[in-house]
Chain A
């Protein structure tokens, strides 16, 4: 099963409520995915400012003193905001790569969840309501966000097996469905030098999209090529710094519904997830077509 929600705001006055709106949408889809939940939320910091979301299985030890050590390593002060098992490291955009490398060196057990100028990714095992609470999702502001509730089928219920998966700077992907040729694709991607952390099929899809983009395709083209190369059932929702996109496999048996008003574009695995959005009664509500890439951008 699994549930996907997405909310892309057109109306800036809704931005302070983004986390609260998404949180409600996410929790509504608990029965589609009670195993784990995750969100990617986009909130651009000041210009030339970037952020890295990190996660640790033992945050007390890994995050302790990291701010100071990382600052010393980079030769300038950094700010780290700890949110439960995750933390967001604020650094200048120019320092993102060196900061990422330094974090991996200083704290080998820390995982990089997301990196970019706007993206923050949080995911954990547990009920969506508990995951949302743990990270304070309802208090978060932003321009757009994607959420996922997971009912695991292809790999273990772990933090790293939860969605979203990062596909590159400011990019992420969530998935409802199951891929049947992920082992073959994983093998090919490993040969190309890509690294995998889980046995999860969605991680393969995310890596596939990253690899296509590294080959020079844009996101839209990379999503188009999933239709040729990935076998199985999928609804993918992807996030980028400025927008979000949706693609469904040609059979499209996994549910998807979208709603658009002057204030937002919203995605839900089911209409229930959209039912409490402001002005939903007047929204244009439709089902995305199979084999069609949709994209909204600011």
Chain B
């Protein structure tokens, strides 16, 4: 990598010192290009982004085990397709945060807009505030922990992975859900088609405890949650269910 941007002048490659990108002076493309050029095993493991000001696709497509701290709120698709990196937004996130995340960890200190963690295949997304509509839509293996509430149509067509909500869930939770497991501590405004409350067996308590631990949540007990999942009645077309489609 070549020292072509002003951020490098502020933070030379010292290994432990974070590499700082101030988006008030450095173009976003330069930040993302530098993140994408980072190689496995690089000493540059700490990155910091200043003045994100709601910009789009900040730190999307990172694929190395680095840590990125974004100081402020971000716009669309932050940390999308993340692999291995730990990305922390010290603010709120716009639509599609951590969309299609593969692995690693994304932490939102504020609120997240619609379709957080959509289609995510792995890794952990922690939202410390509220998430709005369609959180975890079509999730395929990602684990999502929301400290606040989630909006309507969350976990729509969720295929696998876990969605943990410490607050309340909006309308149509888990509509047309497949095998994702949903845990909600508060109320659920309504359940979507084919989503039902299910028994919390010991393995679910253990899994939920593990997720809470990974999310650093110590003030909630797994026993306080209700598990929701698929009634599996829409998996195969049955003429008697036609009205439910």
Residues of A bordering B, CB below 8 Å: 250, 252-253, 255, 257, 270-276, 281, 285-287, 289-290
Contacts and interface: CB of A to CB of B under 8 A. Distances in A.
Nearest to B76: A270
Top 8 nearest A-B pairs (CB, nearest first) are A271-B54, A272-B54, A275-B53, A287-B132, A275-B54, A271-B73, A285-B92, A270-B75
Given A286-B111, A287-B113, 11 more contacts: A250-B152, A253-B114, A253-B133, A255-B113, A255-B114, A271-B94, A272-B75, A275-B53, A275-B72, A285-B73, A286-B130
A290 B133 contact: yes
B73 A252 contact: no
15 contacts: A250-B152, A252-B114, A252-B133, A252-B152, A253-B114, A255-B94, A270-B94, A271-B73, A271-B74, A271-B94, A273-B54, A276-B53, A285-B73, A286-B111, A287-B132
A281 B50 CA distance: 13
Nearest to B152: A290
Interface of B: 53-55, 72-76, 92, 94-95, 110-111, 113-114, 130, 132-133, 151-152
A249 B73 CA distance: 25
Contacts of A276: 53
Most buried by A among B54, B76, B92, B94: B54
A266 B147 CA distance: 26
B114 A275 contact: no
Contact of B111 (A253, A275, A287): A287
Contacts of A272: 53-55, 75
A29 B75 CA distance: 12
Contacts of B113: 255, 257, 287
B111 A255 contact: no
Contacts, number: 52
B162 to A, nearest CB: 24
Contacts of B152: 250, 252, 290
A275 B92 CA distance: 12
B114 A270 contact: no
A5 to B, nearest CB: 13
B62 to A, nearest CB: 21
The prevalent SS among residues of A at the interface is loop
B111 A285 contact: yes
Nearest to B112: A287
Given A255-B95, A290-B133, A274 B54 contact: yes
Contacts of B75: 270-272
Contacts of A281: 72
A103 B111 CA distance: 50
A275 B73 contact: yes
A261 B219 CA distance: 30
Nearest to A273: B54
B41 to A, nearest CB: 35
A151 to B, nearest CB: 16
A33 to B, nearest CB: 16
Contact of B54 (A250, A252, A253, A270): A270
Give the interface centre of A253, A255, A271 by most chain B CB atoms within 10 Å: A271
A71 B89 CA distance: 60
A287 B132 CA distance: 7
Contacts of A253: 114, 133
Contacts of B133: 252-253, 290
Contacts of B94: 255, 257, 270-271
A276 B114 CA distance: 23
A295 B57 CA distance: 32
Contacts of B151: 252, 287, 289-290
Contacts of A274: 54
Contacts of A285: 73, 92, 110-111
Contacts of A271: 53-54, 73-75, 92, 94
Nearest to A286: B111
Contacts of B54: 270-275
Contacts of B110: 285
